[in-house]
Amino acid sequence: MRLRVYRYDGKEEGYDDFTVPDKEGQTVLDALFFIQEELDDSLSFRYSCRGAVCGSCAMLIDKVPRLACRTQVQEVKEEEVDIARYQALEEGKSVSDDHILIEPLPHLEVKKDLVVDMDKFFENYGKIEPWIEAKKGLEKEHLMDPKRVRELEDYTNCIMCAACFGSCPVNGEKEGYLGPAALAKLYRFHKDPRDKRERLYLADHENGWWACDFYTNCRTVCPKDVPPNLGIGNARRELESEEDED
Amino acid sequence: MKEHDIYEHEVLVIGGGLSGLRAALASLEEGADVAVISKVHPLRSHSVAAQGGINASLGNAPKAENDTWKDHAFDTVKGSDYLADQDAVEVMCKEAPDVVLELEHMGTVFSRLDDGKIAQRPFGGAGVPRTCYAADRTGHNLLHTLYEQNISEDLTFYNEYFVTSLVRKNGRILGCVSWDFEEGKVVGFASNVVILATGGYGRIYNRSTNALINTGDGAMLAYDVGVPLEDMEFIQFHPTTLYGSNILITEGARGEGGYLLNSEGERFMENYAPEAMELAPRDIVARAIITETEDGRAFEDEFVHLDITHLGESKIKERLPGIRQIAKDFAGIEPVQEPIPVQPGQHYSMGGIDVDTFGRTCIDGLFAVGECACVSVHGANRLGGNSLLETVVFGRRAGEKASEQLDERGSYDMNMIQEKMEEDRRMIDALLNTTEGSPYSEVMGDLRETMFEHFGVYRNEGSMKEGLLKLKQIKEDYDSIKIDNENRRFNTALVRALELRSMIKVAETVVLGSLKRKESRGSHYRRDYPERNDEKYLQHSIFTKTEDGPEVDYEEVTITQFKVKERGY
């Protein structure tokens, strides 16, 4: 298989083509390591767990944000991913049948090759104050209904890989938009019965809940099946009904 | 940043996984100025991959109401094949309920029983269901919780910095030197305290469940400045790693009732541990699988089956959703309908930096916690659910202790840090300027293969001696590894080459310890010495660095309340 890989060294940008031998079960991350170890050791990309739990290796693979470690080389061309297309997923080199196109995640500044600046993503996450105020010296756990745990798990499963951020047309248009992951986290804390704070207001503005246009790309590309769109919809309904009561 | 590129912080934590973040939080809460340095973003640390759970004698599960910390301690000591220090085990098991409840109060979404209490599942080597869990994503949930708590305290992070050296003066720590990936330059850190929390050295083996970043850097750093390493030959091989990629399939799959089947469809564990069956400790199950494989009862001579189909779809989806996803993503298997192909793989490093129960090393101001340390609570074999526990118990203790001694320290000594920075600059320039020789990846591959082949589940003198010779060659090869690009920014090849330096030094101690310990205990199994020999080896191995490589000595195990007995399951 051939891979066409985006390159940027701080000055010049472009694409390099590499041929990687076909191997059963080979992931895109394996292929990138093959390139790095055998063909061109100047290639930079992030990695850690290689098992789709750490969130390091989200990138554009054939114009779809995915984890490189979870994407099988042989399946890229077979898998149909139904997401709304927009400028960030159209520009650059185009997808073709004779190679897999590997590019950095959109909406984040490229530092080198496939390495992007994640600061903006984590700053947005920080804005929703993602923590519970812990009490000390308590002798028992809070009791929690197992059903509520399952609801929360839909959101706590987020691995902060930013695939959603890189797939969202609104993030492409609005510089300040918090993005799906941060909003999903905020919703998770809002729904946590242990968290006594009023929270929804933290995103009750034009760059928060109200910016989402429900393209649902976020949910489609999430490697952990987190549904930010549902959390955002629920939060909006709650805010609207509060307003009605006022 | 001060002139000369040296940052200053009172407490410097190296590593952003669970133990590092717990230590940082404890020091922050005591008012210290703390920073975490990590070669990856903290959420990418290997702790995130821990699946099954964290042990604490909460007594929540039915039939476990009378569980006590003493029962937990006994199971841990027996599981360790009596090599764990019993005073350290007592500390860990006593503090376990408190740290778990604390994490719950910090926001971890643990799985629950119908009555709303934290759920607990059975795990290998434990008398009762004692393992608290968050589905099969316990590490992920705990790591995110501790990260959240630390950002609420405004912790300073230096992400994507690789620490190349510690700086010590006489018996005291002064700080460290590191490589900044993004800027592509050497920077220094001056501090009163350094807490190493860099994780294990699993990646010196191929067939490892570990993240690719687990290269023993912390152990090497401490060893290099004269801190002894302890019990390095004890490497845990997890019985069930996914065939092909060796991604972990949690012990929780067996805890929930999964069977291990050989190619004849037999639950072979009845021939090895008739009472505990699939829930015997990991060393015993791993050896059983290798024996089945050697005797021709494996599939394709490579793997056995882990069958959870009889648990039913709803239980699998609720309790083991991550495992289901892993089997689908990485083996194309739907475990609701078909068995999972598994084989043993390297999983955990029991050995590490020699520390006391506050994480203190022999150097004033230098601490180590978590998998990079050896307290020792795991001895010759760690029980599942005790590693997450170790990270938070000893992380907290070290963080608190570290902040106590800040006032006793004088001002920072920049000269020595600058000298070390200059030395490391030269070392890195030399690596970048070498263009003839072997690529790092080739040498790294040789090392991993050698370790798995000669220092794996079963060991013997002849094979290990061959391995020793190969390691000598690998060391020589490292001296002339080449890097073909001269980029300074985000140079992955350079970082891998630096990691390989750690891996080789650590591997040397594993090799020496395995050769010298002429007995079988826990994970260290020698076919030429198949019995445990308490008379000679109820002892910790202690490794120190000399000019001619590592030297090993032996030290008494601390025994308090549990008499050393034969270990049967």
For every one of its 569 residues, what pLDDT tens digit does chain B have, with 9 covering 90 and above? Answer: 555 699 999 999 999 999 999 999 999 999 999 999 999 999 999 999 999 899 999 999 998 999 999 999 999 999 999 999 999 999 999 999 999 999 999 999 999 999 999 999 999 999 999 999 999 999 999 999 999 999 999 999 999 999 999 999 989 999 999 999 999 999 999 999 999 999 999 999 999 999 999 999 999 999 999 999 999 999 999 999 999 999 999 999 999 999 999 999 999 999 999 999 999 999 999 999 999 999 999 999 999 999 999 999 999 999 999 999 999 989 989 999 999 999 999 999 999 999 999 999 999 999 999 999 999 999 999 999 999 999 999 999 999 999 998 876 667 889 999 999 999 999 999 999 998 899 999 999 999 999 999 999 999 999 999 999 999 999 999 999 999 998 999 999 999 999 999 999 999 999 999 999 999 999 999 999 999 999 999 999 999 999 999 999 999 999 999 999 999 88
Contact B490 A115 (CB under 8 A): yes
Residues A13 and A99 in one domain: yes
Contacts of residue B225, defined as CB under 8 A and 6 or more positions apart, other chains included, come to: B165, B166, B167, B168, B363, B366
Strands B340-349 and B185-196: unpaired
Same domain? For A143 and A211 the reply is: yes
Q: Where are the beta strands (DSSP E) in B16-132?
A: 34-38, 54-55, 120-121, 131-132
**Same structural domain for residues A33 and A66?**
yes
B531–chain A Cβ distance below 8 A for any pair: no
Beta strands in B471-561 (DSSP E): 481-482, 525-526, 539-546, 549-556
Residue B537's contacts (CB-CB under 8 Å, 6 or more residues apart) are B517, B518, B519, B521, B554
Give the single-character DSSP code of A88: G
Residues A102, A127: one domain? no
Whole-angstrom distance, CA of residue B553 vs CA of residue B551: 7
Q: Given this model, what pLDDT does residue B412 score? A: 82
Residues A183 and A221 in one domain: yes
Burial (Cβ within 10 Å: 0-12, 13-18, ≥19) of residue A70: buried
Phi, psi of B118 (to 5 degrees): -60, 130
* Dist. CA A62–CA A60, nearest whole Å: 6
What whole-number distance in Å separates Cα of residue B292 and Cα of residue B273?
A: 14
B117 contacts chain A (CB < 8 A): yes
The Cα–Cα gap between B221 and B200 comes to 13
Q: What are phi and psi of A11, to 5 degrees?
A: -125, -60
Angle value at C-alpha B311, between B48 and B240, nearest 5 degrees: 45
Choose one of A116, A140, A171: the last residue of a domain: A116
Q: What is the pLDDT of residues A108-148, one digit of tens each?
A: 999 999 999 999 999 999 999 999 988 777 789 999 999 99
**What burial class does residue B243 get, using C-beta atoms within 10 Å of its C-beta: 0-12 exposed, 13-18 middle, 19+ buried?**
buried
Residues A238 and A133 in one domain: yes
**How many angstroms separate the Cα of A198 from the Cα of each of A167, A187, A192, A239, B275?**
30, 11, 11, 12, 52
Q: Which residues from chain B sit within 8 angstroms of residue A46, using beta carbons?
A: 40, 44
C-alpha closest to that of B483 among B501, B495, B471, B470:
B495
CA distance A98 to A100: 7
In sequence order, which residues have a C-beta less than 8 Å from that of residue A89 and are 6 or more positions away?
A60, A63, A64, A83, A106, A167
The pLDDT assigned to A94 comes to 87
Search chain A and give the residue with CA nearest B147. A131
pLDDT given for residue A80 in this prediction: 87
Whether A102 and A185 map to the same domain: the answer is no
**Chain B, 275-334: which have a CB under 8 Å from a chain A CB?**
318, 322, 325-326, 329-331
The total number of residues written for chain A in this structure = 246
Residues A33 and A16: beta-carbon distance below 8 Å: no
* Residue B382 dihedral angles phi and psi, to the nearest 5°: -90, 140
CA B489 vs. chain centroid, Å, equals 29
Same domain for A137 and A230: yes
Give contacts of B 230-269 with A, CB under 8 A.
244-245, 247-248
Task: Tell me the C-alpha distance between B372 and B352, whole Å.
Answer: 5
B44 to chain A, minimum CA–CA distance in Å? 5
Contact B107 A132 (CB under 8 A): yes
Q: Do B112 and A160 touch (CB under 8 A)?
A: no
CB-CB neighbours of A74 under 10 Å: 14
Q: Does A145 touch chain B (CB under 8 A)?
A: yes
- Are B107 and A194 an interchain contact pair (Cβ–Cβ within 8 Å)? yes
Q: Do A141 and B245 touch (CB under 8 A)?
A: no
Report phi then psi at B366, rounded to 5: -105, 120
Percent above pLDDT 70 for chain A: 100
Establish whether the linkage from the previous residue to A167 is cis, with ω within 30° of 0. no
A54 to chain B, closest Cα gap in Å: 5
Q: Which residues pair with B554 in a beta bridge?
A: B541
Domain span including residue A87: 2-116
A208 touches chain B (CB under 8 A): no
Residues A81, A131, single domain; the answer is no
**Residues of chain A with C-beta less than 8 angstroms from the C-beta of B137:** 53, 157
B282 a catalytic residue: yes
Say which CATH number the domain at A75 has.
Answer: 3.10.20.30
Is residue A219 within 8 Å of residue A227, measured between CB atoms? yes
Co-location of A58 and A171 in the same domain: no
Yes or no: say if A30 and B434 are a contact pair by the CB < 8 Å rule: no
Cβ distance of A48 and B148 shorter than 8 Å: no
**Bridge partners, A218 (sequence order):** none
The minimal CB distance from B140 to the residues A42, A53, A129 is found for A53
Residue A63 and residue A139 share a domain = no
Residue among B114, B212, B245 minimizing CB distance to A48: B212
Whether A50 sits inside 8 A of B43 (CB atoms) is: no
Number of domains in chain A: 2
**Angstrom distance (rounded) from CA A89 to CA A105:** 10
By the CB < 8 Å criterion, does B537 face chain A? no
Count other C-beta atoms under 10 Å from residue A139's C-beta. Answer: 7
Taking CB atoms and an 8 Å cutoff, what residues of chain A touch B483?
A: 41
Report yes or no: B114 at the A interface, CB cutoff 8 Å.
Answer: yes
B550, β-bridge pairs: B545
Chain A: give the shortest CA distance to residue B40, in Å.
Answer: 8
Among the options B130, B282, B297, B567, which is catalytic?
Answer: B282
Estimate the crossing angle of helix B138-152 against helix B86-106, to 10 degrees.
70
Q: What is the CATH number of the domain that holds A181?
A: 1.10.1060.10
- A130 and A230 assigned to the same domain: yes
Q: Could you give the CA distance from residue B46 to residue B24 in angstroms, rounded to a whole number?
A: 17
Phi/psi region, residue B344 (left: phi>0; alpha: psi -120 to 50; beta: rest), is beta
A98, A87 Cβ separation under 8 angstroms = no
Using the beta-carbon criterion (under 8 Å), do A53 and B490 form an inter-chain contact?
no
The answer to whether the CB atoms of B248 and A55 lie below 8 A apart is: no
- How remote is the C-alpha of B328 from its chain's centroid? 26
Domain termination residue (choose one: A116, A147, A163)? A116
The predicted model scores a pTM of 0.97
Burial of B264 per CB tally in 10 Å (0-12, 13-18, 19+): exposed
Residues 6+ apart with CB under 8 A from B419: none
Check CB contact under 8 Å for B107 and A49.
Answer: no
Of A116, A141, A173, the residue that ends a domain is A116
Q: Sort strands B340-349 and B235-242 into parallel, antiparallel or unpaired.
A: antiparallel
Q: Per DSSP, which regions of B15-69 are E strands?
A: 34-38, 54-55
